Structure 1
Amino acid sequence: MPYYALLVLVHVALMSGTITYAVAEKSLDCSFYNIKNNYLKFEDVVLDVDNETTVPPLTNYYNSGLEKVSVSYVEIVDNPYVSVHESKSYNRVFLNIKQINEMVEPSRRSEFYYNVKLNLHCDNRAIVEMYSSIRLIDTNNHEPFFDKPRYTYNLISAYVEDFQRQLILYPVVATDYDVTNVEVDFTIEENAYFDIMYGGVVPGTLNKKHYPKLVPKTHGKLLTERIEVEIGVTDVGTPPRRNVTKLVINPPSPPAPIFDKTFYVGHYYKNHTFVINETPELAEGTTYYQTRVTIIIDGERDQNNFISRVENEKIVIESNDQLDSSVFFQNNYIAYELKATYVNVVTNLATASRATLIVEHHHDL
């Protein structure tokens, strides 16, 4: 039989109806003065910004001996935030409540209470379980924050729906530690591609972490330009607190073209013929992207002596004009740059790489 108050209702069925008899409550073996049930009421509240709060009960005297059994001592059961302090000389008991750790306590929409269980150890060695709830006043002293100051996504497809798939794998996450906040509001800087809405709580985070959800303004629209916008998060506390992060989305660019060699050697003869024995090739091929190959001298300007074109994924280099005789006889060779460029025909983005073309001058035929 437990020591807390018990009320037994006995129902006796009669022909004329049902009569209910109330059996008297079982008295507690020991208790605080004038407390006859198992609930100890506190009217004091705790502020979450205080390091420690001492809360005395309204009826804080031990049983004075007029009852059957007195209280020997009081202990707190399994509550890391609450401890008991007894004043034997005045037969008083106080509860010392520490500041809660809002990073590990689950957040909730309702108010937060310290739920306290006290064991009263009676002089007759009985133990009386008593309970209390002490309200916490939660101030909005934690501002929400994003896990990263900048989120960058390099897309492999130009469709906005493909970005949403990346967002699921590598989400934007905002954290708010306030114990009575379980939802935040997200905003996004005006742009042509996305709106934003609340996406829910990150599972297993004690309602502390939250997802935003980006919704395409136009389904099927292509991302053909780099996007850099600000995302904001605001908590629902009073006063509301806000923080921001940057969202960067890079549309798909082609991979850099890779020459199969770092340099190539061509031969220019006195009769103005040009021969190159090793045809330059791009290791990645030229099937999927628009490909341009130009010949540059001095790192700045195209020249007209040689031209290049792409045929069957190979680079064809030909002489376009006769070399000036003075240049031909003054230099044994001239070094040119081969610049290969891949262009994405959807986004019009391009990447380039370079190799060296050495043209040797031969004075024989």
Structure 2
Amino acid sequence: MKKITNFILFFKVLVLICGPLVLTAESLSCTFGNYDHNYIKIQEFVNDDENSTTIPKKNKLYANSVQGMDIMNNSYVIINKNHYEGSFTFIFSQINEKFEPSQSNFCYNFTVRLNCTNRDIVDLYVKVPLIDTNNHEPFFEKPKYTYNLISSYAEDFKRQQFLNPVIATDYDVTNTAVKFSNEENEYFNIMYNGIVPNSLNKKHYALLTPKIPGKLVTRKIEVNITVTDVGFPPRSNVTKLVINPPSPPGPVFSSPFYVGHSYKNRTFVMFENPKLEEGCTFYETRIDVLTTGNKSRVFYAEIINDKILIKKFKTNLSYFFEKNYSIYQLKAFYIDRVTKLYSSGTATLIVEDHHDL
């Protein structure tokens, strides 16, 4: 019973590796060589880096009671017949690795259909192993992957990887997996995450896993990721991963400019106060009044009850009406209360100087 079980297991493994065995116990009407069965395994190997390979190289094959033969279901194999000797060989062309499914042991499986002299048709199932040269380096689909997080937690990697997965491709037909590695960092590790469906085992997912689930990502992360194939000698390639921590949206003023009125009696009036479209309460908000990049010594901004008020320094005694108007820049900042990251937006403040009052 144990021997029968072992035979069945061996049979299943062989089918998985190099295609089905089709055996017959009946005597064949015609064949080639001295084979008395319709499954033929040729021991010589084909090297995938050769444009053309002839097999057998030395001992040619001879047909018995055959008047014609054709290769079925394999475009890489043709029959080379020597009509004077009555012999023939198989000629294998170089396979297209981009379109052939990868498998750990790649074999040429094909059928030789014999037209016997008695008009019978016999199918001989042939298997020839392939030696695969590691002549394709794996490569990433993008030279750089950028993840813009919308939350402060490393768990947001899951959403980013779903929308923008890190994928590497390897065309070598006997490389069925790759290895991923990354530069050391405090936030995440990288690991192999399987084959991309319907990719002929050519494309492979990488998976980013947080080192500490829930750890805040508070700064920009830039690391190199390496993919290495499993061929010999191993070949590799590199891409860059950029992770931008969440920042508030840029503040947007309701108008590109606002007008204020300054009078001789040192009063200052704005008929329309500046407003931010998102308001001033969701994020920590700051407004600066600037002159050519520096804070104004004449005007300043206060936020009171979600309202932006532009005010004039009362202690300023050196301000004179030398012009009819002055221009300032209003610069608003939204600051994330957790990460302290910020973004900014600007508007223009025009102050009219009234000399007659």
Q: Do they fold alike, i.e. is TM over 0.5?
A: yes
1:65-87 per-residue CA deviation (whole Å, 9 max, x = no partner) reads: xxxxx210110012111111212
1:24-67 per-residue CA deviation (whole Å, 9 max, x = no partner) reads: xx43212224222223442321111111212138451222xxxx
1:342 and 2:334 equivalent? yes
Pair 1:136–1:326, CA change in 2 (3 A): closer
Q: Which residue of structure 1 aligns with residue 16 of structure 2?
A: none
1:69-120 per-residue CA deviation (whole Å, 9 max, x = no partner) reads: x2101100121111112121110112111111111211122x1110121011
1:121-180 per-residue CA deviation (whole Å, 9 max, x = no partner) reads: 112211111121111001111111110010001110010011222212221001111111
Q: Which residue of structure 1 aligns with residue 140 of structure 2?
A: 146
Q: Is the 8 A contact 1:304 1:321 kept in 2?
A: no
1:307 and 2:300 equivalent? yes
Identity across matched positions, percent: 53
In structure 1, what residue type is equivalent to 2:89? Answer: F
Q: Which residue of structure 1 aligns with residue 4 of structure 2?
A: none
Q: Is the 8 A contact 2:24 2:38 kept in 1?
A: no
* Alpha-carbon separation, structure 1, partners of 2:106 and 2:238: 28
Q: Which residue of structure 1 aligns with residue 61 of structure 2?
A: 60
Q: How many residues align?
A: 335
Q: Is the 8 A contact 2:23 2:39 kept in 1?
A: no
* Alpha-carbon separation, structure 2, partners of 1:245 and 1:195: 15
Tell me whether 139-148 or 122-131 shows the greater mean CA deviation: 122-131
What pairs with 1:179-190 in structure 2 (closer than 5 Å)?
A: 179-190=173-184
What pairs with 1:78-89 in structure 2 (closer than 5 Å)?
A: 78-89=73-84
Residue in structure 1 matching 2:309, options 301, 316, 319: 316
Q: Is the 8 A contact 2:157 2:208 kept in 1?
A: no
Q: Is the 8 A contact 1:272 1:323 kept in 2?
A: no
Tell me whether 128-137 or 39-48 shows the greater mean CA deviation: 39-48
Which sections of structure 1, spanning at least 5 residues, go unmatched? 8-25, 64-69
SS at 1:199 equivalent: strand
Which sections of structure 2, spanning at least 5 residues, go unmatched? 1-21
* Alpha-carbon separation, structure 1, partners of 2:350 and 2:271: 12
Q: Which residue of structure 2 aligns with residue 11 of structure 1?
A: none
Q: Which residue of structure 2 aligns with residue 39 of structure 1?
A: 39
Q: Which residue of structure 2 aligns with residue 73 of structure 1?
A: 68
Deviation at 1:324, TM superposition (A): 5.3
Q: Is the 8 A contact 2:60 2:89 kept in 1?
A: no
Q: What is the CA RMSD across the aligned residues, in angstroms?
A: 1.7
* Alpha-carbon separation, structure 1, partners of 2:281 and 2:319: 41
SS at 1:167 equivalent: helix
Q: Which residue of structure 1 aligns with residue 101 of structure 2?
A: 106
Deviation at 1:322, TM superposition (A): 6.0
* Alpha-carbon separation, structure 2, partners of 1:51 and 1:165: 45
Pair 1:60–1:118, CA change in 2 (3 A): same
Pair 1:350–1:326, CA change in 2 (3 A): closer
SS at 1:287 equivalent: coil
In structure 1, what residue type is equivalent to 2:32? Answer: F
Residue in structure 2 matching 1:239, options 218, 230, 233: 233
SS at 2:180 equivalent: strand
For the pair shown, which has the larger CA radius of gyration, 1 or 2? 1
Q: Is the 8 A contact 1:54 1:97 kept in 2?
A: yes
Residue in structure 2 matching 1:174, options 155, 163, 168: 168
Q: Is the 8 A contact 2:253 2:275 kept in 1?
A: yes
1:49 and 2:41 equivalent? no
* Alpha-carbon separation, structure 1, partners of 2:300 and 2:37: 100
Pair 1:220–1:147, CA change in 2 (3 A): same
1:357 and 2:349 equivalent? yes
TM-score (norm 1): 0.88
SS at 2:349 equivalent: strand
